[in-house]
Structure 1
Amino acid sequence: MANVLVTGGSGYIASWCMLALLEAGHTVRTTVRNLDREPQVRDMLRHGGADPGDRLSVVRADLQSDQGWDEGVAGCDYVLHVASPTLTQVPRSDDEMVRPAVDGALRVLRAARDAGVRRVVLTSAIGAIAYGHADRDTPFTEEDWTDVDADIAPYQKSKTLAERAAWEFVNGDGTGLELVTVNPTGVLGPVLGPDYSPSLGAIAQMLDGSMPALLPFASGYVDVRDVAALHLLAMTAPAAAGERFIATSGHSLWLREVAAVLRDRLGPRADKVPTREMPVLMARGLARVNPQLRTMRALIGRNLDATSAKAERVLGWKPRPIEETIVDTAESLLALPPR
């Protein structure tokens, strides 16, 4: 069994990665920006069925500061670098997201290298693969990279440049440190607390009626539990070293297809789920003036299909059917106390 550092322990994907690690018998250390969040981290794990006790330790570390990272990686065999900068409002410039993402990834990698960590698994995103391209009929693969010179949102730009910087570091100054990246599509699945991914936020808005119409776009989706399982495979499988792995379940779905699953499987509890899809031209016009929709502009009218064939072939990873995940997501959101 190994000692594993998971960065960003209060995050959605990180919490499920910790649950998977604990279930596999590993000892986990995680980072938070404020130690006041440790009780929340432990509550989320308990909600997921684990009470780690002293098998979990929490340290303070921030992606924008050098402090704490040496302590975080000390004695660890592996690092899952899941943390990524988030903003509570639309950034004034791309650098507000790009700089912390790039600098944070390099801080973690340098500390891992200096501590003799065997391998770092970096949580990247489909945003580093599928954006800024012309329309295509074939799914995106790990050979593709997002074009950062295209008109893309700061988040996708930050994920792309952070991953590129990580590969450049490991291939240059890594001195034996291994790197693997996991690139999930839209992440769904059961929630462990009030903080969850933007993809889950869309499901929540459908259920509570705050989404008046469905945006016309299609993307891949994947269960957070399967994303965590892929991180563990990427952490230890010899064949994973130096590779990228897309995490997605089946083919992409239009948002109207996600809504149809909710209505079909939840019955009256999905009465507020919209049935009308916004026309493409209207959606594009709104995205130009609405700050909340502006980050979606590259998706409107597009089908960003991707394939996880590589992860399934090389690592034996098997994601669950996405319809099952959509229902599990909705059930857990409906069970949350009102905000």
Structure 2
Amino acid sequence: MSGEGVLVTGGTGFVAAHCIVQLLHAGYRVRTTIRSLDRADAVREMVRRGEADPRGIEFVAADLMHDDGWPEAVADATYVLHVASPLPVRQPKDEDELIRPARDGVLRVLHAARGAGVRRVVQTSSFAAIGYRADPGRPFTEQDWTDLTRPHLTPYIKSKTMAEHAAWDFVDLEGDGLELSVVNPVPIFGPALGPDLSTSLAVLLGMLNGRAPAVPPGATTGVDARDVADLHVRAMTHPDAAGERFIAVAGDPISYHDLAMLLRDRLGADAKRVPTRVMPRWLVRAGALVSTELRAIAPQMRRAQGASHEKAERMLGWEPRSTEDAIVASAQSLVRLGLVKG
């Protein structure tokens, strides 16, 4: 690479850390935003675990809800990977606690990027902005959008959908040449680089530590964080990626029972607490009222979220690891971090 500058927002995050690692390996100059500069050492440690040299990373304090820091963050950047987005442990009672930072945050980043002459922004959206349409029977594609009039959508689903709509509207109406690409990942697995876990990894950790006597019914799709980061970098530079969305998914859904058996088979004694019985559906719905892990799983009992990465493979040459390998890599990293009970 030519040493072009890339801003990665939300550097303490799971996906952002993997993006930083891959950008450093590729020779880019990397700057990242964090809400407090006190977290810089934590980011450096995650990058070291990803086997990259963190010495060249520049840090800027910036928050999605405030203007301060964003002009400095985007200065001299050729590209922006906007990965930062609120993802709470529990869904808030007031949905605006999620919607406003997600929607206003992406607009704040896009305004700053346009003003600084950034060439392209890659936004980390979510399959949540795709996977809740009116007719869920057929496989999902990048042409699909979540129907915000559907009942029982969580604040998270609404926030990701509204934030992505806002980003496309801004670029169409006010972008002044700024390019936008969007990556829409399904639940993200892969090796954790630090103790701040994604929702998917928190679910795995709960299984590994035997927090429930049985696995839930239903299935999940998955993708490795390393492949999500790779797709961001491809979408950042490929000429044809401007104005496009890309679903990040490894393959077909895997049932939670099969997932549990995979962990038992591949991790041996480290997976001795993983349950293998299947939980009744009514118990999942009841447990979702108090359990973060079950709350994340409950919607998937009634939704076969089949999707394809055909577009990313065809346009960008993207070839992800299997869902099974991503899940095993997640679990092994949780063991290495000392988070799994002995």
Query: Do both share a fold (TM > 0.5)?
Result: yes
State the shift of 1:298 in Å. Answer: 2.7
Identity of aligned residues (%): 52
SS across alignment from 1:79: strand
Distance of 1:290 and 1:252 partners within structure 2: 26
Distance of 1:134 and 1:279 partners within structure 2: 26
Question: CA distance change for structure 1 residues 196 and 291 in 2, over 3 Å: closer, same or farther?
Answer: closer
Show the counterpart of 2:77.
Answer: 76
Distance of 2:264 and 2:134 partners within structure 1: 33
Alpha-carbon contact 1:218-1:305 (below 8 Å) kept:
no
Q: With structure 2 as the length reference, what TM-score do the two structures score?
A: 0.94
Distance of 2:219 and 2:48 partners within structure 1: 34
Show the counterpart of 1:86.
Answer: 87
State the shift of 1:295 in Å. Answer: 5.2
Q: With structure 1 as the length reference, what TM-score do the two structures score?
A: 0.95
Question: CA distance change for structure 1 residues 14 and 321 in 2, over 3 Å: closer, same or farther?
Answer: same
**In the alignment, which of 40, 45, 48 is matched to residue 43 of structure 1?**
45
State the aligned residue count.
Answer: 336
Show the counterpart of 1:146.
Answer: 146
Show the counterpart of 1:3.
Answer: 5
Alpha-carbon contact 1:152-1:298 (below 8 Å) kept:
no
Deviation string, structure 1 residues 42-95 (Cα, Å, up to 9, x no partner) = 111111111232x21000000000110000000000000000013344301111
Show the counterpart of 1:125.
Answer: 126
2:110 is the alignment partner of 1:100: no
Show the counterpart of 1:334.
Answer: 335
Which residue identity is paired with 2:46? M
Show the counterpart of 1:182.
Answer: 183
Runs of 5+ consecutive residues of structure 2 not aligned to the other structure: none
Show the counterpart of 1:208.
Answer: 209
Distance of 1:203 and 1:222 partners within structure 2: 14
Distance of 2:89 and 2:210 partners within structure 1: 22
Question: CA distance change for structure 1 residues 88 and 258 in 2, over 3 Å: closer, same or farther?
Answer: closer
Distance of 1:4 and 1:325 partners within structure 2: 26
Show the counterpart of 2:241.
Answer: 240
Distance of 1:338 and 1:278 partners within structure 2: 24
State the shift of 1:16 in Å. Answer: 0.2
Distance of 1:133 and 1:200 partners within structure 2: 29
SS across alignment from 2:329: helix
Deviation string, structure 1 residues 188-224 (Cα, Å, up to 9, x no partner) = 1111110121101111111111132222222310001
Question: CA distance change for structure 1 residues 179 and 96 in 2, over 3 Å: closer, same or farther?
Answer: same
Distance of 2:166 and 2:90 partners within structure 1: 25
State the shift of 1:294 in Å. Answer: 4.4
State the shift of 1:338 in Å. Answer: 4.3
Alpha-carbon contact 1:153-1:295 (below 8 Å) kept:
no
SS across alignment from 1:209: coil
Distance of 2:135 and 2:240 partners within structure 1: 32
Which residue identity is paired with 2:282? L
State the shift of 1:121 in Å. Answer: 0.1
Question: CA distance change for structure 1 residues 291 and 321 in 2, over 3 Å: closer, same or farther?
Answer: closer
Show the counterpart of 1:221.
Answer: 222
